[in-house]
Amino acid sequence: MSILVDERTKVIVQGITGRDGSFHTKTMIDYGTKVVAGATPGKGGTECVGVPVFDSVREARQATGANASIAYVPYSFAADAVHEAFDAGIELVVCITEGIPTSEVVKIYGKMKSLGVRMIGPNCPGIISPGKCKVGIMPAQIHTRGNVGVVSRSGTLTYEVVNQLTKAGLGQSTCIGIGGDPIIGTNFIDTLKLFQADPETKAIVLIGEIGGTDEEEAAEFIKSEVKKPVVGFVAGQTAPPGKRMGHAGAIVSGGSGTAAEKIAAFKKSGIAVADIPSQISGLVASLLK
């Protein structure tokens, strides 16, 4: 098992003919992901890196029976792409794009909830179930199959942690980057529920950062619902208040959303907190003993 994506995942790439789209489609295929179609308006009937391209997601899905999509679409068109995928019956959309207006993500979230479907992201590296399926832009070679579930608001910091886990002999069931924006489709709690229910996942690593209260809510949830060991880390302890730290969602505003509050909430819920990233694999190993 693993969560959300595995051998049965059939993926449509939205924006496949773009520079990023074609490059990452190739890396996903090389990894063994079943990329069944691409969708780019006006490019229907062509092929891109060996994958048939359709004008719309609807046609692509009808022709291939795809159940997931990944959007490599510029920020001004990305919200439309996600709506298109949902309206075509796609159940899981991974939205890599950074820079989508928050108001558009709010609208997508409303549709997502009413249809009972899921978006991962936006502004995220995607998701990988090592050895099975990669729907994202992460460097595949650092991952290895195993029992640790990783969920994070960050991209490269996640790679850092995963690389370390792999080197320590701790493989991963699924690694998911949920995105650095203030509003995201899938949050920590959504992911924790799935990891708790997944028999392959034996321990969970949760990587948070400043801004919002997702970590605090996750801590509450872990205390009451998660029976598996959890290791936590929060980035941004030295971030000044009121300044956006790269990610649109990473900002301490009105004195709330600080790293100190989140770390305190983690500790209160019995989560093993790493002071620095390089402690994470050691903590996971000790909890899995």
* Smallest gap from residue 89 Cβ to other proteins (A): 21
* Smallest gap from residue 141 Cβ to other proteins (A): 9
Report if residue 210 touches other proteins, rule: CB under 8 A: yes
Q: Of these, 21, 38, 121, 125, which contacts other proteins (CB under 8 A)?
A: 125
Report if residue 101 touches other proteins, rule: CB under 8 A: yes
Report if residue 254 touches other proteins, rule: CB under 8 A: yes
Report if residue 237 touches other proteins, rule: CB under 8 A: yes
Report if residue 221 touches other proteins, rule: CB under 8 A: no
Helix 156-167 to helix 280-288 angle (10° resolution) is 50
Report if residue 207 touches other proteins, rule: CB under 8 A: yes
Q: Which stretch binds other proteins (CB under 8 A): 102-110, 194-202, 218-226, 262-270?
A: 102-110
Residue pair 189/217 in contact (Cβ under 8 Å)? The answer is yes
Name the one residue in this structure whose structure tokens are 């993500």: 105
Whether 247 is catalytic? yes
Could you give the CA distance from residue 62 to residue 53 in angstroms, rounded to a whole number? 13
Residue 240 is given by DSSP the state: P
Report if residue 215 touches other proteins, rule: CB under 8 A: no
Looking at the Cβ atoms of 19 and 227, the one nearer to other proteins is 19
Looking at the Cβ atoms of 84 and 209, the one nearer to other proteins is 209
**Distances from the Cα of 122 to the Cα of 13, 161, 181, angstroms:** 15, 21, 7
Could you give the CA distance from residue 259 to residue 236 in angstroms, rounded to a whole number? 6
Looking at the Cβ atoms of 15 and 125, the one nearer to other proteins is 125
Q: Which one, of 215, 113, 132, 142, lies nearest residue 174 by Cα?
A: 132
Give me the numbers of helices (H) and strands (E) for the chain, helices first please. Answer: 9, 14
User: Apex CA 178: angle with CA 143 and CA 229, to 5°?
Assistant: 65
Give residues in contact with other proteins (CB under 8 A): 20, 75-76, 98-103, 106-107, 109-110, 125, 137-139, 142, 152-160, 163, 180-183, 207, 209-210, 212-214, 217, 233, 235-240, 243-250, 254-255, 259, 275-278
